[in-house]
Amino acid sequence: MQAGWVLREGEVLAAAERADSFLERARGLIWRGSYDGAMLLPRTRSIHSFGVRFPIDVAFLDREDRVIAMVRLRRWRVTLPRMRAAQALEARAGSFERWGLGLGDQLEFRPTL
């Protein structure tokens, strides 16, 4: 996992982790008791919440990191694939509302040094 920040127009929305490997993406937020940041999952078009202990917000991003779809996912569910998605962003349910995240928002992942 690579640690960093998720930003919108230079404003930090949350601390984040980017799951670069297949195993990191497959694990995602599974079995974590709590999670206050955001997780970026490159090369992801669909998300499942099997084994995730809390509902999550999911945003699908295109190749330019623009939000193209958002969904709240309860436990033990699967999203429909978003064919235009290049990656997905996960956070605890309610996070996107707190951040004011919306369709069309341009995001950036900035790694910490």
Q: Per residue in 71-104, pLDDT tens?
A: 999 999 999 999 999 999 999 999 999 999 999 9
What pLDDT, in 10s, does the model give residues 4-40?
Answer: 999 999 999 999 999 999 999 888 888 888 889 999 9
Angle, CA 54 vertex, CA 2 and CA 60 arms, to 5°:
55
State how far the Cα of 65 lies from the Cα of 87, in Å rounded to an integer: 8
Q: Give me the numbers of helices (H) and strands (E) for the chain, helices first please.
A: 2, 7
pLDDT of residue 85: 98
